[in-house]
Amino acid sequence: MIHEDDEPPEDDDKSKWEKYYQLETAGIHEYGNSEKEEKDRLIRKSGDILNRTVERRSDGYYVRLPWKDAHMLLLDNYSTAIRCLENIWCSMQKDQNLLQRYDAVFQEQILLNILEDVPKSKPPPERRIHYLPHQAVMTPRNQQQSSV
């Protein structure tokens, strides 16, 4: 039903836009405070995050990722790593040559501090311990030493 006193839809859209522009020119901004105050607040917050995440040590600066505040507890994964190593040990018993090559790679990685012995009775207090399950990459046909 159409009445003579109804405004056409174009005028309704036009009045909505006029109200919008009136609000914008009235000093209503995206932020609750003035834009300068809001920028100052964000700069202070960024500085606080920077001060909390950068640490000066004897060998240089250490920077944590600022958005990584909450740390989930990481399990040590010891039982999974031992189980994988035991399975590999059992399969290696069939090929002594491969077992010796495997041992040589382990010994080399121990010398290069890639692998380290972590006594279960006395773990280092300042570091987290996480055991990685071993996965071999063997290329028996290749004459080069395999990565273990």
Cβ atoms within 10 Å, residue 102: 19
pTM (two decimals): 0.41
Domain count along the chain: 2
| Amino acid identity, position 124 | P
Asked if 131 and 78 count as a contact pair (C-beta separation under 8 A), the reply is: yes
- Helices within 7-115 (DSSP H only): 9-25, 35-53, 78-92, 96-111
From 96, 92, 59, 82, select the one nearest 134 (Cα to Cα): 82
Judge if 50 and 104 occupy the same domain: no
Q: What is the pLDDT of residues 35-84, one digit of tens each?
A: 788 888 889 988 888 888 888 899 998 887 766 655 667 778 888 888 98
Domain containing 20: what range? 9-63
Percent of the chain with pLDDT strictly greater than 90:
5
The domain boundary, picked from 23, 40, 63, lies at 63
pLDDT of 15 strictly over 90: no
Q: What is the pLDDT of residues 77-118, one digit of tens each?
A: 888 888 988 988 888 888 888 888 888 888 998 999 888 877
Q: Is residue 3 part of a domain?
A: no
Judge if 42 and 94 occupy the same domain: no
The pLDDT value given to residue 16? 74
CA distances from 16 to 1, 22, 26, 140 (A): 23, 10, 15, 76
pLDDT band at 129 (very low <50, low <70, confident <90, very high): confident
The pLDDT value given to residue 23? 60
